[in-house]
Amino acid sequence: MEKIKKHSGIIKEFKEFISRGSVMDLAVGIIIGGAFTTIVNSLVKDIIMPFIGLLIGNINFSNLKIILTPASGDKAEAAILYGNFIQNVVNFLIVAFVVFILIKALNSFKKKKAEEPVSESEPTAIAEDIQLLTEIRDLLKK
């Protein structure tokens, strides 16, 4: 019986976790991140890598490989595709740089928001709340 209560407690915690807004924000972030990754992959593969290959000497990075065993008959070629690895490193660096810029902008925005002066209506509203609570306390004492 105790195990059933323990499992129902876990299920209740899981439902609370799923219903939080942060989980939905995370799901949206993952979906947008996947779409962004597709764009970055295309940028690197179709624009950046051909340009870098041209600068280095007309090299196509997708063809760069070290052949371990050549193809023969039905046997496929075994090769280390280091050109694809270089392309994926460039992808990662671009994504990491964009995330860095986004976090930097977000932190800057939060810092400016924290430095904004408090409007004059807020202190009076707080003072009125304190005064009202003081009056309620005094009435309860009587």
Reduced DSSP (H G I as helix, E B as strand, rest coil) percent helix, strand, coil of the chain, to 5: 80, 5, 15
Contacts of 38 (CB under 8 A, 6+ apart): none
| Distances from the Cα of 95 to the Cα of 16, 42, 43, angstroms | 32, 12, 11
pTM of the model: 0.53
The three-class DSSP label of residue 81 is coil
Contact 66, 82 (CB under 8 A): yes
pLDDT digits (tens, 9 = 90+) for 61-116: 778 899 999 988 889 999 999 988 888 888 888 888 888 888 898 888 888 877 77
CATH number for the domain spanning 57: value is: 1.10.1200.120
Q: Number of structural domains, the chain?
A: 1
Mean pLDDT of the chain: 81
The parent domain of residue 64 ranges over 2-141
